[in-house]
Structure 1
């Protein structure tokens, strides 16, 4: 992300954040957990959940949705959020200062200390639950926390809040498997029915079809965060990384204090696309390139390649193919560029982990990565989290024929009849479960390597 074509006020406004704590609401009746010699992340989640009566797995899912449980060495996100739980201090939100007030920890400690950050987030969630009127029996039910979760992650508008809460509840449904500095953090899958309340009403969701890209949702940015109209013909697509969550980026674009925006935002987990600025208007995303470019944000952090999923690459490439066809933009690296490559910018995104060779092969569809992508690889893939020695189907890869993979493989291509997919490269290595693959075409297992 980048500053708009005028002097940026945001940093000066951040200085008002401490003063804003004087008007914080939502005092929690719970007390901060006592000091502990246990410095583990799992211990911190357990203590915070008990102290503030917040479901432990909800805390983990919120943290994973925000940062993949990566504190980024205490560095702030694009909207000035800190730590694994992304506690925020900006002109529109002050959950960082609220956490300090509720727990008694200092702001610098909460920014840099993971257990303190987790405790602070639990305190903020409990305060929001109290304001929402959640009683003890409600707090024990995961489904009751939906609207609180939406407010925690994206409070500016109902559409962004729903996008965020749906991400968290998807994680609760599927389970979280993460590693924090070598420590495994896990949640079991939950069968949970979210109580969306007013967010379930169509007129409150505000998520309609995008005006330009047919498969996108529409969540417009604040009108003061972009310029109406264009000063030049569209000749370039600029690739960004949000340095924050999908819904958080959309919410930030809707915040009058942000003074930034992009045309599109893409979610890491499933490739969902949301348009926030019309292509005919000038988003503020890349300074000198704003008049002649379309800005595409990708959920994640430059330093963490786990966000750059195969689904995200493919969804983004499909969008870029659409844009290049629509505006007759050459499909080359002179016209499809990273934010860091635009003259006059000081940002580093998309960074060293962005696979330009693979991405451009998808945009061109010419197999430059050395393989031809499955043309219909999509959202119906279900991958087991344990290897199997039987014939249980682990995943279905839609292609020219139905291709089934018996055993999970980390970091290896799945190939058949000239079609390949490297989604396995983006799966976590679950404790060394490196297996061989078998390809099943029309229920006939092909001969190959040894069993799993």
Structure 2
């Protein structure tokens, strides 16, 4: 089993909230025992972020490893200096405040923490996420003896993701449980390491068990290797007013599942044609090539937008698998639509006239990417 690593996230200092109750965390090894929560913290694993996860897990009786996996799937445990994501989500746990999803407000109501602290302080942010997950579990009807097992939290995790449809909700929850299966080793600021021990997982999917997994049986007509998950019809324009001449490279400022969910939200008023996942380069098409995505303002009529999972300030998201998958897609689009394979026609969001975005940012390796497009 593999471990995933991320480095250099920002962590603001805050007084750690004391443990107020809940079951004691127990070590969990990869033997299929799903009842435990937190492995013992030793050496470099003792630090403010690790303590925040343990304290929040104990206070709200949420499995500590599950809490870490949710945060890692959202942000790689990086608070991005309090800046919001594309979906207006904040902190390492991506507490969201938008018309379709309101985990930030839910966290404030449940914990009494000020909104500013929930947005900008990691300990409060983690506590808020634990409170929201516990509230969902209570609504789900989880009893005290059931809350220790991570396999029982699947539908609560799916709800936390805020997906508009069941397939995307399953994608979100499956991603968290894949992280639990693989294990996590996240190096954070100050030499601290936050870990999750790999284990066998067997989630209880409840009403999502019969939902078709993401990408199964729904291939793109424009690019067959991609899954087809349409954006909300209110987030793009049917047809085009100009010939396709440009590919625009974006960074999602959020997770893969979260971005797909956001483009399905009628309140988003934004979309791109394709979304590419960091870990393995999986591609989802959400707007047909022949239609106009809303991703680059004045550049929309003549361009195809490619969103890459991650954040511009964290190069750990830009994996070899992502580069190669995206380059294969761009090469296909260039050949199909007669787009020259050069930097005048394959551009970053920040290079499209009339845009104020900075993506894909200085961590995107253009030389490597273009060498793959032209190979």
Give the TM-score band, short-chain normalised. Answer: 0.7 to 0.9
Report which structure shows greater RCO (CA 8 Å, sep ≥6). 2
Q: 2:104 aligned with 1:96, yes or no?
A: yes
- Cα contact 2:215–2:227 (8 A) shared by 1: no
The partner residue of 1:363 within 362, 365, 373 is 373
Aligned equivalents of 1:299, 1:204: Cα separation in 2: 19
- Cα contact 1:175–1:188 (8 A) shared by 2: yes
Aligned equivalents of 1:206, 1:213: Cα separation in 2: 13
Q: Secondary structure at the match of 1:238?
A: strand
1:273-330 Cα deviation digits (max 9, x unpaired): 1111111110100011101111000000000001001111011011111111111111
The partner residue of 1:157 within 165, 173, 177 is 165
The partner residue of 1:192 within 181, 192, 201 is 201
Aligned equivalents of 2:203, 2:66: Cα separation in 1: 12
Q: 2:323 aligned with 1:330, yes or no?
A: no
Which residues of structure 1 form unaligned runs of 5+?
A: 1-30, 366-452
Q: Which TM-score applies when normalising by structure 2?
A: 0.86
After TM superposition, list the pairs within 5 Å mapping 1:128-277 onto structure 2.
128-181=136-189, 182-202=191-211, 208-277=218-287
1:105 deviates by 0.7
After TM superposition, list the pairs within 5 Å mapping 1:268-347 onto structure 2.
268-347=278-357
CA RMSD of aligned residues (A): 1.8
Seen in structure 2, the aligned counterparts of structure 1 residues 246 and 203 have a Cα distance that, compared at 3 Å, is closer
- Cα contact 1:154–1:247 (8 A) shared by 2: no
Aligned equivalents of 2:177, 2:297: Cα separation in 1: 36
1:103 deviates by 0.8
- Cα contact 2:171–2:214 (8 A) shared by 1: no
Q: Secondary structure at the match of 1:150?
A: helix
Q: Which residue of 1 aligns with 2:135?
A: 127
Q: Which residue of 2 aligns with 1:87?
A: 95
- Cα contact 1:73–1:112 (8 A) shared by 2: yes
- Cα contact 1:158–1:206 (8 A) shared by 2: no
After TM superposition, list the pairs within 5 Å mapping 1:368-447 onto structure 2.
none
1:150-170 Cα deviation digits (max 9, x unpaired): 111233211221221121111
Which residues of structure 2 form unaligned runs of 5+?
A: 1-16, 22-45
1:99 deviates by 0.5
Q: Secondary structure at the match of 2:57?
A: helix
1:167-215 Cα deviation digits (max 9, x unpaired): 1111101101112213110110010112222323246868521221101
When Rg is computed on C-alpha atoms for both structures, the one with the higher figure is 1
Q: Secondary structure at the match of 1:244?
A: coil
Q: Which residue of 1 aligns with 2:119?
A: 111
1:146 deviates by 1.5
Aligned equivalents of 1:129, 1:49: Cα separation in 2: 13
Q: Secondary structure at the match of 1:211?
A: coil
1:370-429 Cα deviation digits (max 9, x unpaired): xxxxxxxxxxxxxxxxxxxxxxxxxxxxxxxxxxxxxxxxxxxxxxxxxxxxxxxxxxxx
Q: Which residue of 2 aligns with 1:74?
A: 82
- Cα contact 1:199–1:205 (8 A) shared by 2: no
1:231-284 Cα deviation digits (max 9, x unpaired): 111111100000000010110111111000000001101111111111111010
- Cα contact 2:275–2:307 (8 A) shared by 1: yes
Q: Which TM-score applies when normalising by structure 1?
A: 0.71
Aligned equivalents of 1:149, 1:211: Cα separation in 2: 31
Q: Which residue of 2 aligns with 1:64?
A: 72
The number of aligned residues is: 333
- Cα contact 1:219–1:275 (8 A) shared by 2: yes
Aligned equivalents of 1:202, 1:49: Cα separation in 2: 29
